Amino acid sequence: MELITEPYWWQDGAELPPVCHDVPAKADMVVVGAGFTGLGAALAAAEKGAEVVVFDAGQPGQGASTRNGGMIGAPHRPEFVQELKTYGRDLAVRIVREGAEGYAHTRALHEASGVFQHTGRVQMAFTRAHFEAMAERVRLIHELAPQETRLLNREELQDHIRSDLYFGGLYYPDHGAVQPRLAHDGLMKRARDAGVTICAECAVTAMKPEGDGFRLTTEAGEIRARRLVWATNGYTGLQSRWLARRIFRVPSFIIATEELPEGVIDRLAPGRRMMVESRARHSYFRPSPDGKRIIFGGRAALVSIDEREAARRLQRTMAEIWPEAAEWKLSHSWQGWLGFTFARNPYVGSHEGVHFAYGYSGNGVALSPWLGRKAALRAMGDPEGTTAFAETRLESRPYHIGGTPWFMALASPWWRFVVDARETARARRDREMRR
Ligand SMILES: Cc1cc2nc3c(=O)[nH]c(=O)nc-3n(C[C@H](O)[C@H](O)[C@H](O)COP(=O)(O)OP(=O)(O)OC[C@H]3O[C@@H](n4cnc5c(N)ncnc54)[C@H](O)[C@@H]3O)c2cc1C
């Protein structure tokens, strides 16, 4: 079978909206980008009575929001320890707490559309040091911002995933999964039912302040907006150079296997959890919602590469975890852009009246509708727009103009042949000592 280079998720879902030819003359709020952030913003503003128009350069959702792994949960990133160092205890704890609140909000939206699966998530330690860091993280989380997490030793981990590769793991029983395309359809329907107009395949090409709002040029005409929310994350272009300079994009690659023989997934991944590794390759994988395939993602490269080459690299990693995976046939291989801030935290803010939320740094399924909502409420001057993510750091780097930073092309071979090779050697030594 020919490898399909678009997301596995796209084979299901509602009919795509027609291409927009007719742009309304004005709106209370324009939202640029119809991914999870843009829809979260539009929904919040419409529920407060605003007339909202959302534009997307492509089909709504076909940025990261319907390309992702569909793993959803409250903050689980190793950065919590880093956040404590960077932001101090008060803000770090507020970030974790708001993450949990954001997850509850988004989960309720997906439960209402019937697309949320309660699966739990395990994070697997690739080296002994990673396992020690996990133990410290869980200690700090329990002390500072209690959240249901359980440290698993090597034997306990086998109840969730059968592999010799890891040194233990962390279990998040409360986490879950969505089929991203269906989750996006659910949000889009909700926004439309609240009165939001969505203009598909209609990029906003320019904006300028006018009176007490903005005049926007789009591919299908001009529109005047009283308020403006920019929700383009990893797909941010140069319409606002200020915004573009403060975010950079990194590709994430995913493959789907063909349907596996019955019993294979129950044997190799008996928990049917969402599974995430601690190594720099950042592999994340899960059974498909029907439990018949493995969807396997990761950092096959730091720059965009051909999907066939990415599929080969991801399959090699998958076979390190489960040797029999080397023989599995693949049906799909695709990629999408993650949006990173240089501090690696999401950020909500405004610049010259343009409100925005972006920089989920690979973990945006739970937070993006929530922070989109915050951005819209802040634009409307609503006190409910208060968020800890307006206090995180937002910075740029010399000569970064937007998109893929100039240093990423240089970093890519270094990352592959030095960082990854070193970590792999370390893990091998750790495993030999264990025998
Ligand atoms: C392969 C992959 C796997 C991932 N897996 C996970 C996961 O399992 N769990 C998790 O939590 N997160 C995951 N993420 C991250 C998550 O998908 C994102 O953080 C989230 O979807 C961001 O949503 P968004 O709406 O901000 O951006 P996007 O969904 O990227 O939307 C941005 C939109 O802006 C539009 N746009 C850009 N410029 C313009 C313009 N000028 N005019 C109009 N429209 C414009 C684009 O067309 C695009 O549709 C993954 C991401 C990728 C790419």
Q: Supply 246's token pair.
A: 């403060």
Residue 80's nearest CA partner among 126, 167, 146 is: 146
Q: In which element (H, E) is residue 210 found?
A: strand 204-210
| Ligand 1, atom nearest to 364 Cα | 19
pLDDT of residue 76: 63
pLDDT of residue 225: 98
User: Rounded to the nearest whole angstrom, what is the distance from the C-alpha of residue 168 to the centroid of ligand 1?
Assistant: 31
| Ligand 1, atom nearest to 35 Cα | 25
User: Rounded to the nearest whole angstrom, what is the distance from the C-alpha of residue 234 to the centroid of ligand 1?
Assistant: 6
pLDDT of residue 147: 82
What residue owns the CA closest to ligand 1's atom 53? Answer: 336
pLDDT of residue 248: 96
- Probe residue for ligand 1, chosen from 365, 370, 371, 404 as the CB with the greatest number of ligand atoms within 8 Å: 365
Give the pLDDT confidence of 213-262 residue by residue, as tens digits: 999 999 999 999 999 999 999 999 999 999 999 999 999 999 999 999 99
Report the alpha-carbon distance of residue 56 to residue 184 in Å, rounded: 14
Torsion sign (Cα): 82, 390, 280, 400: negative
Report the alpha-carbon distance of residue 90 to residue 80 in Å, rounded: 12
Place of tokens 């979260």: 40
| Ligand 1, atom nearest to 363 Cα | 11
Phi/psi for 112 (5° steps) reads: -65, -30
Place of tokens 């797909």: 235
What is the DSSP code string of 129-182? HHHHHHHHHHHHHHHHS----EEE-HHHHTTT---SS-S-EEEETT-EE--HHH
Residue 110's nearest CA partner among 42, 183, 37 is: 183
Place of tokens 């343009």: 354
Counting as low any pLDDT under 50, the low residues of the chain are: none
Give the pLDDT confidence of 246-256 residue by residue, as tens digits: 999 999 999 99
pLDDT of residue 81: 77
Which domains does the chain carry? 15-67+182-248+342-406 (3.50.50.60)
Q: Supply 419's token pair.
A: 């960082």
Measured in whole angstroms, how far is the alpha carbon of residue 369 from the centre of its chain? 11
Give the pLDDT confidence of 42-86 residue by residue, as tens digits: 999 999 999 999 999 999 999 999 999 999 998 766 677 788 888
CB 395 within 8 A of CB 248: no
User: Rounded to the nearest whole angstrom, what is the distance from the C-alpha of residue 426 to the centroid of ligand 1?
Assistant: 34
CB 402 within 8 A of CB 241: yes
What is the DSSP code string of 242-288? HHHHT-EEEEEEEEEEPPPPTTHHHHH-TT--EEEE-STT--EEEE-
Report the alpha-carbon distance of residue 347 to residue 360 in Å, rounded: 8
- Identify any residues that bridge with 357 across adjacent strands, giving them in sequence order: 348
pLDDT of residue 78: 64
What residue owns the CA closest to ligand 1's atom 9? Answer: 71
Q: What is the mean pLDDT of the chain?
A: 95
Place of tokens 């997906």: 110
Give the residue ranges of DSSP H helices in 360-419.
367-379, 406-414
User: pTM to 2 decimals?
Assistant: 0.97
CA angle, 253 as apex, 404 and 57 as ends, to 5°? 60
| Ligand 1, atom nearest to 218 Cα | 42
pLDDT of residue 323: 97
What residue owns the CA closest to ligand 1's atom 3? Answer: 68
pLDDT of residue 407: 86
| Ligand 1, atom nearest to 234 Cα | 30
Report the alpha-carbon distance of residue 185 to residue 189 in Å, rounded: 6
Angle between helices 36-47 and 367-379 (to 10 degrees): 50
